[in-house]
Amino acid sequence: MTQNFYITTTLPYVNGEPHLGFATEIIRADILARHFRTRGGKVFFNTGTDEHGQKLFLKAQEQGISVKELVDQGSQRFKDFADTLNISYDAFVRTTNKTHMRAAQKFWEVCDENGYIYKKNYQTKYCIGCELEKQDSDLEEGEQGLQCPIHPHMNIEIIDEENYFFAFSKFEDQLLELYAKDEGLVVPDFRQNEIESFVKGGLQDFSISRLKEKMSWGIPVPGDDEHVMYVWFDALVNYISILGWDIGQSMFDLYWKEGETFQICGKDNLRQQSAMWQAMLIAVGLPHTDKVYINGFINGPDGKKMSKSLGNTVAVDYILDIYGVDALRYFTARHVNNHEDTNFSIEIFHEAYQANLVNGIGNLTNRILQMSSSYGVEPVMRPESQYNNEALDSYDFNGMMNAVFKLVGEMDQFITDEAPFKKVKTDPEAAAQDLQKLLGQLWQVAEMIKPVMPDTYIKMVDALAKNEKPEEPLFPRIEISK
Ligand SMILES: [Zn+2]
């Protein structure tokens, strides 16, 4: 296994609010970044914000502020969100930064030199919500004619102008070859199969520019004053612009060429990340991404899309307020399904918190340290090489957390079976031995949860080192009104 890991989230579009789905994406990326660092690897962890495109242009007009003002606010909101979630990113890229814009232009130029960009008149249907061209087969019949299923409240726009195109259709064979490689590209397999059949169905060249006179909020197309770049074509380049690809920085070689590259995204990004972006990389002669990991959606408790009022965003704020950041990190690692959709409600969250954190790890830590300090048991020092989270090497978040709770369950059972709290009255030596064993295992639990719950890790290590139960419970019991 290589020692250099490059990890990136997608860049959220600054128009939106941070929600549970993105929280899951960025927390999982962070868990892997921490995991690979602990394993001794060099890690570069990228996140940031996507700040061009028509949607922002229109919204700024609506609000009567400059687009720059709008994107500055939006970007700060996502940066604060990442910091609140304790995300250990190495870089926060903004696609309106000069360094990114320069790289995107260079990317365009190389693509053009290699013969993959051409100009033509075209007409298309376009969803501003997705910032994507739409075929009739992508759309649904609604009250106002054809609608985007993700944005039923927005009108489908008809674009009719001369644009630059990316010759996506030339990459069918190379993409299929890439998917067919032994190690594959997309995790899980069923998503890889999905993208494979999409590509087999035939690729359409897509427009990568907009007329500046209609929509000026974009990166200028090199050598043509009348056009700006299409937002996706610019934004995807962030994954390498942040490494200084265009100016030959050694970081690029170290991480993109020689390292293992990992991207994480929601299932609505499957085509963009595992087909569009991979074709763009091939077009400029760069190595493809090694792994594209696809999350499912988080739905309401009935499995339907979460409503605004129940609120994906509201839920995140509420959880952070009441339960704290480690509880949210725990939930996204263990209870949000690795790849399938997950049903969510505050009650489901509360249940998981109470059962596994309050009555699980929190209670176990208290009991063991309470006994060991009151029985005068010698503290156990941090054992060598306890860190072992094999499941994370294959990006199995659920599996990794289940291994932790298997151990927690065994420790609870051991306390019940051996009853050191009784033994201490008749055979204190045997009770002390039981506690020594439990303290060693508690270290192991702490080391395992370290990438997932970094604050809890520090509290546990502190308590173990002092050989005293934590002053405050690790996870306070919380009452919710029904
Ligand atoms: Zn849409």
DSSP 195-260: HHHHHHT----EE-EEETTT---SPEETTEEEEEE-HHHHHTTHHHHTTTGGGT-HHHIIIIISSE
Residue 387 and residue 286 share a domain: no
Backbone phi and psi for residue 377, each to the nearest 5 degrees, phi listed first: -75, 140
Distance 149 CA to ligand 1 centre (A): 7
Q: Are residues 255 and 394 in the same domain?
A: no
54 C-alpha to ligand 1 centroid (Å): 13
Surrounding residues of ion ligand 1, Cβ less than 5 A? 127, 129-130, 148, 150-151
Q: So what's the pLDDT on residue 300?
A: 87
pLDDT computed for residue 305 by the predictor: 77
Give the residue carrying structure tokens 């309050």.
358
**Looking at the predicted structure, is the pLDDT value of residue 373 above 60?**
yes
The full length of the chain comes to 482
Output the CA 14–ligand 1 centroid distance in Å.
16
Q: Answer whether residue 352 shows pLDDT above 80.
A: yes
Neighbour count for residue 460 (Cβ, 10 Å):
24
Q: Do 70 and 201 reside in the same domain of the chain?
A: yes
Q: Taking the CA atoms of 319, 130, 176 and 241 in sequence, report the sign of the dihedral they define.
A: negative
- 14 Cβ contact partners less than 8 Å away, ≥ 6 residues apart: 49, 50, 51, 56, 70, 71, 73, 74, 75, 77, 78
How far does residue 349's CA lie from ligand 1's centre (Å)? 29
Q: What is the mean pLDDT of the chain?
A: 94
Domain count of the fold of the chain = 2
Tell me, yes or no, whether 83 lies in a domain: yes
The mean per-residue pLDDT over the stretch 9-16 comes to: 94
User: Where do runs of H (alpha helix) occur along 39-143?
Assistant: 54-63, 67-84, 98-113
Helix 363-374, helix 454-466: angle, nearest 10: 10
Percent of the chain with pLDDT over 90: 85
Determine the pLDDT at residue 25. Answer: 98
Strand-strand pairing, 4-8 and 260-266? parallel
Tell me which residue range forms the domain holding 197.
4-295
Percent helix, strand and coil across the chain, each to the nearest 5: 50, 15, 30
Looking at the DSSP bridge assignments, the partners of residue 295 are 266
Side-chain-facing half-sphere of 341: CA atoms under 13 Å = 13
Q: Whole-angstrom Cα distance, residue 271 to residue 267?
A: 9
C-alpha 138 – ligand 1 centre gap (Å): 9
**Rounded percentage of the chain residues whose pLDDT exceeds 70:** 98
Question: How many angstroms separate the alpha carbon of residue 150 from the centre of ligand 1?
Answer: 5
Residue 220 CB coordination number (10 Å)? 18
**Long-range contacts for 355-361 (Cβ within 8 Å, ≥24 apart)?**
356/330, 356/405, 357/327, 357/330, 357/474, 357/475, 358/473, 358/475, 358/476, 358/477, 358/478, 360/405, 360/408, 361/408, 361/445, 361/449, 361/456, 361/474, 361/475
CB 239 within 8 A of CB 263: yes
DSSP secondary structure string for all residues of 283-296: HTT-PPPSEEEEE-
Asked whether residue 31 falls in the same domain as residue 174, the answer is: yes
CA–CA distance, 338 with 398 (Å, rounded to integer): 6
Residue-level pLDDT at 153:
86
φ and ψ at residue 224, rounded to 5 degrees: -145, 105
Please classify residue 299 by burial: count the beta carbons closer than 10 Å to its beta carbon, then call 0-12 exposed, 13-18 middle and 19+ buried.
middle
Indicate the pLDDT class of residue 309, thresholds 50, 70 and 90.
low
Q: Are residues 353 and 272 in the same domain?
A: no
Domain boundary among 259, 274, 295: 295
SS3 346: helix
pLDDT at 307: 63
**pLDDT (average), residues 199-218:** 94
- Cα 51 to averaged position of ligand 1 atoms, centre (Å): 17
Whether the CB-CB separation of 33 and 71 falls below 8 Å is answered with no
Q: List the single range of 8-12, 53-57, 94-98, 458-462 with lowest mean pLDDT.
A: 53-57
Query: Residue 176: enclosing H or E segment and its boundaries?
Result: helix 172-180
Number of H helices, E strands in the chain: 20, 17
State the pLDDT confidence band at 330, using cuts at 50, 70 and 90. very high
More confidently predicted of 103 and 184:
103
Token output for 379: 């503290």
Whole-number Å distance, alpha carbon 134 to ligand 1 midpoint, is 9
Radius of gyration, CA atoms only, the chain: 25
Residue 62 is part of a domain; what is its CATH number? 3.40.50.620
Model confidence, pTM: 0.94
403 and 274 together in one domain: no
Residues 289 and 358 in one domain: no
Please say if the pLDDT value at position 313 is more than 70. no
For residue 1, pLDDT over 60 is answered with no
pLDDT range class, residue 312, cuts 50, 70, 90: low
Mean pLDDT of all residues in 111-125? 95
Using the mean position of ligand 1's atoms as its centre, give its distance from the Cα of residue 151 in Å: 4
The amino acid sitting at 400 is M
**Same domain assignment for residues 281 and 369:** no
Distance 380 CA to ligand 1 centre (A): 56
Output the CA 220–ligand 1 centroid distance in Å: 25
Give the span between the Cα atoms of 319 and 316, in whole angstroms.
5
Residue 114: phi and psi, rounded to 5, are -80, 0
pLDDT greater at residue 75 or residue 302: 75
Average pLDDT of the segment spanning 172-190 = 95
Torsion of CA 41, 44, 47, 48, to 10 degrees: 160
Indicate whether 247 and 369 sit together in one domain: no
Assess if residue 312 is contained within a domain. no
From the CA of 237, how far away is ligand 1's center (Å)? 22
Kindly give the distance from the C-alpha atom of residue 480 to the centroid of ligand 1, in angstroms, as a whole number. Answer: 37
Structural domain contains residue 475 = no
Residues 405 and 277 occupy one common structural domain: no
- Mean pLDDT score, 404-426: 97
Cβ atoms of 208 and 230 within 8 Å: the answer is yes
Q: What is the token pair recorded at 465?
A: 């080192």
Beta strands in 296-445 (DSSP E): 298-299, 342-343
Choose the final residue of a domain: 295, 311, 328: 295
**How far away, in angstroms, is 131 Cα from ligand 1 center?**
7
Burial of 66: CB neighbours in 10 Å, binned 0-12, 13-18, 19+: exposed
Q: 31 and 22 in contact (C-beta within 8 Å)?
A: no
Do 277 and 369 lie in a common domain?
no
Look at residue 310 in the predicted model and tell me its pLDDT. 56
Q: What is the pLDDT of residue 334?
A: 98
Res 193 pLDDT > 70 = yes
Among the candidates 276, 295, 314, a domain finishes at 295
CATH of the domain at 394: 1.10.730.10
What's the confidence (pLDDT) of residue 261?
A: 98
User: Is 194 or 16 the better-scoring residue by pLDDT?
Assistant: 194
What lies within 8 Å, CB to CB, of 265 at 6+ separation is 9, 10, 25, 272, 273, 292, 293, 294, 295
Q: Ligand 1 mean position to 147 CA, how many Å? A: 8
Mean pLDDT of 367-379: 95
DSSP H or E segment with residue 146: strand 145-147
Residues 246 and 125 in one domain: yes
